[in-house]
Amino acid sequence: MDWKNKTVLVTGGTGSFGRAFIRILLEEYKPEKVIVFSRDELKQHEMRVAGFDQANLRYFIGDIRDLPRLTRAMDGVDVVVHAAALKQVPACEYNPMEAIKTNILGTSNVVEAALECRVEKVMALSTDKAVSPANLYGATKLAAEKLTVQSNAYSGDRPTRFSCVRYGNVVGSRGSVVPMFIRQRQSGAITITDERMTRFWLSLEQGVKFVLRCIEQMQGGEVFVPKLPSTTLTDLARVIAPDAKLEIIGIRPGEKLHEMLISEDEARTTRELDDMYVIQPAQGPFFVHAWEKKGKALPEGFRYASDENQQRLSEKEIAALIAPFEAEIQAAG
């Protein structure tokens, strides 16, 4: 795929992922134009001040709940990366209709606008919390995934293809437990909901590079899942604050003890490649089934869960993963 003649629009472009994605896209792939689509004018201003002021970068103020504005923004766009979402679990629980309007209806608007504007590729970002969801955030992301994948059926003679990327916790993203642990370290005590809790982890750069590679390979209808390491939150806390006391406060409403990236039911239509899994739709379009020749089937009863994951982070690997973000926090004072 030649990015140099492509126009790329990123919903939620001022978020943690959006900023990292746009930086790497501009520096390494050099597309013809990049459009930041977000609803916060202050964050867009802060991006410009931070150096995101390239001649081929455009800023659109808009909300994915606003279909006419999305349609206007997607005019002439080749690739859409859909990263906009309400993702704070407690906020989504307390404001359920707002989460539904943004995460589900907003995704529907992205689909409608992309079809109307004949966008070539739409890649939506999802989360491990969409698998067997225990909270509203996960339920809305599951619905958004289903909506995105099934929308390939609406393409008809249009070139538009829709796929998803699903991964685990991003170190240092907004709402991540890592900055909270760093702040709590100063008090000498770190709070953990359950000492057995495990999570999948990846860095922002890893997430961005994976999304870019999946956009290049997507045929439409797939859910791409990277192979990721896991760790317990206890191990994470001990690396960040080895001398701090660990306080167990109990699992919060909507929180899981362990997360899952592929369920047993999904595993039946999943192909395993060297560094990722590709979940094919159970009744997908004809062009998705080329993955049958590119990967291998998973064994009966397979599930990709953070507690059963054989790839575990060592203390040294945890330290390396959080080091860039910790340095950033310390530099900011």
- Cα separation of 179 and 107, whole Å? 29
Which fold, 3-168+203-227+260-306?
A: Rossmann fold (3.40.50)
What are 180-212's pLDDT values in tens digits?
888 888 898 999 999 999 999 999 999 999 999
pLDDT, mean over the chain = 92
- Cα separation of 259 and 277, whole Å? 16
> What pLDDT band is residue 288 in, cutting at 50, 70 and 90?
low
- Cα separation of 76 and 116, whole Å? 11
Buried b (16+ CB within 10 A) or exposed e, 50-80: eebeeeebebbebbbbebebbbebbeebbbb
What are 27-53's pLDDT values in tens digits?
999 999 999 999 999 999 999 999 999
Beta partners for 191?
247
Whose tokens are 């020749």? That residue is 293
Question: Is the Cβ–Cβ distance between 239 and 318 less than 8 Å?
Answer: yes
Specify the pLDDT at position 286.
Answer: 59
* Other CB atoms within 10 A of residue 180 CB: 14
Q: Is 145 helix (H, G, I), strand (E, B) or coil?
A: helix
Both tokens of 249, joined, read 């406060």
* Other CB atoms within 10 A of residue 131 CB: 25
The catalytic residue among 6, 87, 129, 141 is 129
Question: Is the Cβ–Cβ distance between 119 and 161 less than 8 Å?
Answer: no
- Cα separation of 212 and 279, whole Å? 18
What are 232-246's pLDDT values in tens digits?
999 999 999 998 999
- The phi and psi torsions of 225 (rounded to 5 degrees) equal -125, 120
CA 103 centroid distance within chain: 13
Q: Spell out the residues 6+ positions from residue 163 whose beta carbon is closer than 8 angstroms to its own.
A: 121, 122, 123, 124, 148, 149, 214, 218, 219, 220, 221, 222, 223, 224
Whose tokens are 């870019």? That residue is 212
Residue 33 is among the residues annotated as catalytic for this protein: no
- Cα separation of 70 and 67, whole Å? 5
**Region 115-125: what's the mean pLDDT?**
98
What are 258-270's pLDDT values in tens digits?
999 999 999 999 9
Angle between helices 315-331 and 233-240 (to 10 degrees): 50
